[in-house]
Amino acid sequence: MDNVVELNNVTKNFKGFSVKNIDLQLKKGFVTGFIGANGAGKSTTIKMMMNLLRPDSGEVKLFGLDYKTHEKEIKERIGFVYDGNVFFEGLNLKDIKRIVGPAYKHWDDGLFYHYVEQFDLPLNKAMKTLSKGMQMKASLAIALSHHAELIIMDEPTAGLDPIFRRELLDLLQELMIDGNRTIFFSTHITTDLNRIADYIAFINRGKLIFNQSIHDVAENYALVKGGMDLLDRDTEKDFLHVHRAPTGFEALTDNIQSVKSTFGDSIVIEQASLEDIMYYLKGDIHHV
Ligand SMILES: Nc1ncnc2c1ncn2[C@@H]1O[C@H](COP(=O)(O)OP(=O)(O)OP(=O)(O)O)[C@@H](O)[C@H]1O
């Protein structure tokens, strides 16, 4: 069983917004970065993965198991970190450990204290008195201390200083070494993904646009720049979006070969960053 997470045709409807027909598989042993604009549906998708939200339709499976029959077993194998994770605001980390630890079969006190030291965390201060970054580190220490096979994080690097952010990415990379772990996390900091992600899942307006290896994303998408005189209905067919300016156009394509044969040497082709892709695909996707 290679898929640690499987969302099959998952839909959740809110008033005025839906996450629609999501098919997302996460293979064991890889890091997947989950990107998308504010309000695109990342947290909603993650909550359905965590069974904090029930889909209106479709199927969610983790480790091949269903939450309906195996909730405890599934949760046991997941380390979860999210922004509002400070569920015990008035308690200190030591008390939280005393409550949370026994809930996990594989809780490891030694590992917990290792992270407390590494993250320089105070054990006796109430969570609500810690800075946002420290709270995130505390959540991480808890989430990493029960030998979870799957680590799911909703914007774990938000609120962290650049130094700890980098340390966190190094730590995640270390966690991946034995090949048995899987990490899925959402972020707005796309440069973090270039450092550690194997796959990128991109959601736009509630639809999953792609879940591709970071290598394939780099191969499949490109920015094309050239003079406005080159554009017409026919030559624009391979562009997903065109930005027109008096000085020339810039466009995103997912068909580099065809663009090359249409324009030859008259255009410049550059690698599209994840931010470029998000920016150009922020509207509805259609070939122009
Ligand atoms: N419980 C809810 N009831 C109604 N609407 C909701 C609910 N939860 C989320 N939404 C709406 O669903 C949309 C997607 O929200 P979601 O939090 O999944 O986005 P996101 O991609 O995580 O955004 P961000 O990057 O800003 O955190 C938003 O328009 C939000 O208002």
- pLDDT at 85 (0 to 100): 55
Q: How many CB atoms lie within 10 A of CB 129?
A: 12
Measured in angstroms, how far is the CA atom of residue 43 from the centroid of ligand 1? 7
In the reported structure, the alpha carbon of residue 258 is separated from the centroid of ligand 1 by a whole-number distance in angstroms of 37
Across 6-19, average pLDDT:
96
Q: State the average pLDDT for the chain.
A: 91
Q: Ligand 1: which residue has its CA nearest to atom 7?
A: 14
Pairwise CA distance, residues 148 & 220, whole Å: 33
**Could you tell me the CA-to-CA distances from 35 to 7, 99, 286 in Å, in that order?**
17, 33, 20
pLDDT-based confidence at residue 157 (cuts at 50, 70, 90): confident
Q: Please check whether residue 130 is in contact with residue 159, taking contact to mean a CB–CB distance below 8 angstroms.
A: no
Confidence band, pLDDT 50/70/90 cuts, at residue 180 = confident
pLDDT in tens, 201-249: 999 999 999 999 999 999 999 999 999 999 998 999 999 999 999 999 9
Task: State which amino acid sits at residue 261.
Answer: S
Which domains, ranges and CATH numbers included, belong to the chain? 3-215 (3.40.50.300), 221-280 (3.30.70)
**DSSP letters of 27-78?**
ETT-EEEEE--TTSSHHHHHHHHTTSS--SEEEEEETTEEHHHHHHHHHHTE
The number of the ligand 1 atom at minimal distance from the alpha carbon of 154 is 22
Asked if pLDDT for residue 86 goes beyond 70, the answer is no
Phi and psi torsions of 53, nearest 5°: -145, 135
